[in-house]
Structure 1
């Protein structure tokens, strides 16, 4: 696990931050019994996901793992589980 970045990228941080703000907005308006504000907050949550995915596509996310890296990581995990 030490070799994994766990999503610490600008794309992940931005997407999660926007989604968190949307959840907060939706929560406030849900308690206030305002359906329009609630759905606006849910829309912000969805926008956060779209922004995060767009930033990842633009190269600001975690790079894809090559086939060789994936096979080596899988083999190491199996060897560790066997011992």
Structure 2
């Protein structure tokens, strides 16, 4: 996966960061026995997924054909090297 740039996009980083914050909030409220805060944290987790999806739609994610282009580059490099 190191050669595929999997997940190294602004959309991926933003979505995962928001979801991680929501996970931490939800976990903290679970420990404090506050159901409303727990569910609010899970809402933030879902929001992270939505934000990542919207950013991908705006062109900030990895292109769909990028794996094909990377495979072609590898083949070209293998032939040359």
| TM-score, structure 1 as length reference | 0.78
Match of 1:37 in 2: 37
What are the residue-to-residue correspondences of 1:4-83 with 2, within 5 Å? 4-65=4-65, 69=68, 73=71
4+ residue stretches of structure 1 with deviation over 3 A?
Answer: none
Superposed displacement of residue 2, structure 1: 4.3
Q: Structure 2: 5+ residue runs without aligned partners?
A: 75-81
Change (3 A) 1:2 1:33: closer
The one-character-per-residue Cα deviations of 1:31-66 (angstroms, maximum 9, x if unpaired) are: 000000000000000000000000000000001117
Q: CA RMSD in A?
A: 2.2
Aligned length: 72
Q: Structure 1: 5+ residue runs without aligned partners?
A: 77-83
| TM-score, structure 2 as length reference | 0.79
Superposed displacement of residue 6, structure 1: 1.4
